[in-house]
Amino acid sequence: MDIKSQIGRRIREERKNKNKTQTQLSEILNTTQDTISLWEKGKSAPNIEDIIKLAEYFDITIEELIGIEKNTNGKYNIYNNVVNENHGSIAYSQK
């Protein structure tokens, strides 16, 4: 699953946990229902400002929203992939 799809799945889960429709969430974020739908389908992803708004609204961390965590090697795990902190490059590997 790619990052956009994973973020979209998480947005959908959190929206449903709050018992909100896509239209209601779009009004809270000052965007459109179509935009929320595209995010949830993984066809696009929210920009950083919207990621911050979503995390605040859902009362979760940005890391939880986008699905990253630092592993014991000091690298970030992203959905079975690892971000290499050297020069900001991304190296993908299976967990």
Residue 78: strand pairing partners: 68, 81
What's residue 79's pLDDT? Answer: 56
What's residue 83's pLDDT? Answer: 42
What's residue 82's pLDDT? Answer: 42
Average pLDDT over residues 16-38: 97
In this structure, are residues 50 and 42 in contact, taking their beta carbons and an 8 Å threshold?
no
pLDDT digits (tens, 9 = 90+) for 35-77: 999 999 999 999 999 999 999 999 999 989 998 877 788 787 7
In Å, the largest CA–CA distance within the chain is: 41
Residue 24 token pair: 């209601």
pLDDT at position 86 over 60: no
Q: Which of these, 56, 55, 95, 57, lies nearest to 77 by C-alpha position?
A: 95
pLDDT at position 19 over 50: yes
